[in-house]
Amino acid sequence: MQFITATHPIDPEPRRIGWESAQPIVVGDDVWPSAGVIVCPGVTIGDDTVVGAGAVVTRDLPAGVVAMGVPARVVREIGEQDRFEIPS
């Protein structure tokens, strides 16, 4: 998983002289990022969200969803069908 916080202006002139800044990334509780996920600057991922392998998260993801793809998109909500009963 890669957290990319650095960003830069689109205009080439300030980039030429080295202007760069950073934006925060916020990851909620119990988020499951699969292998190879890239999270871009300024993104928030909500609690309990699962991000599929190789996804590139360019925009905020809400809580309680499965997201995947490039760019990452919500494919479904996490619900009762996902409940796992731990055997006793």
28 is known as an active-site residue: no
Q: How many angstroms from the chain centroid is the CA of residue 88?
A: 35
The set of residues, in sequence order, having a beta carbon less than 8 Å from that of 43 and lying 6+ positions away, is 25, 26, 57, 58, 59, 60, 61
Residue 87 has pLDDT above 90, yes or no: no
Q: Is the peptide bond before 9 cis (omega within 30 degrees of 0)?
A: no
Set 1, 7, 8, 19: catalytic member: 8
pLDDT of residue 59: 98
pLDDT band, very low/low/confident/very high, at 13 (cuts 50, 70, 90): very high
- Can you list the domains of the chain with their CATH numbers? 2-77 (2.160.10.10)
pLDDT of residue 67: 98
CA atoms of 20 and 55, how far apart (whole Å): 25
Residue 45 has pLDDT above 90, yes or no: yes
Token digits of residue 70: 């490039």
Region 34-54 average pLDDT: 98
